[in-house]
Amino acid sequence: MYQFSYAEIVEDTFSDTRAREREAVEQAIGLLRRAQAAGAASRETVEALHFTRQLWAILIEDLASAENDLPQKLRADLISIGLWVMREAEAIRMGQTEDFTAIIEINQTIAEGLR
């Protein structure tokens, strides 16, 4: 029979969670890149922006939770980034900009930080 320490189980769970978060952010990046190639008025853009906004809404909710173990300053910084991403997605949706570059780059930085 296998025996694991509590610390090993917690570390595995933390690693698994980070991996899932990274995969979700990378999925958003892929959708945003396809949307950029298809153009701001495309169906791909609608799907990419919807997914990205939903993802960041979930991440922000988790970051705002008292049960989140990240340092408070880091949580606040990530929430600010998430709100910026959501505002940028809305600007694209509203036709105020057609440039996906910044939103893709920010998501890439976050994905790299989750490695």
Average of per-residue pLDDT across 86-98: 96
What are the domain boundaries of the chain? 7-113
Per residue in 12-34, pLDDT tens? 577 888 899 999 999 999 999 99
What is the model's pLDDT at position 12? Answer: 55
Q: For residue 96, what is the DSSP state?
A: S
Q: Would you give the DSSP letter of residue 41?
A: T
Please answer whether residues 90 and 8 qualify as being in contact, where contact means their C-beta atoms are separated by less than 8 angstroms: no
The string of pLDDT tens digits covering residues 39-85 is 999 999 999 999 999 999 999 999 999 999 899 999 999 999 999 99
Going through the chain in order, the beta strands assigned E by DSSP cover none
In this structure, are residues 59 and 113 in contact, taking their beta carbons and an 8 Å threshold?
no
The single-letter DSSP state of residue 66 is: T
Rounded Cα distance between 57 and 70, Å, is 17
**In the predicted model, is pLDDT for residue 10 greater than 80?**
no
Instruction: Please report, as a single letter, which amino acid is at residue 45.
Output: T
Which pLDDT score, from 0 to 100, does residue 4 have? 47
Model pLDDT, residue 55: 97
Record the pTM.
0.86
- The Cα diameter of the chain in Å comes to 60
Could you give the 3-state DSSP secondary structure of residue 95?
Answer: coil
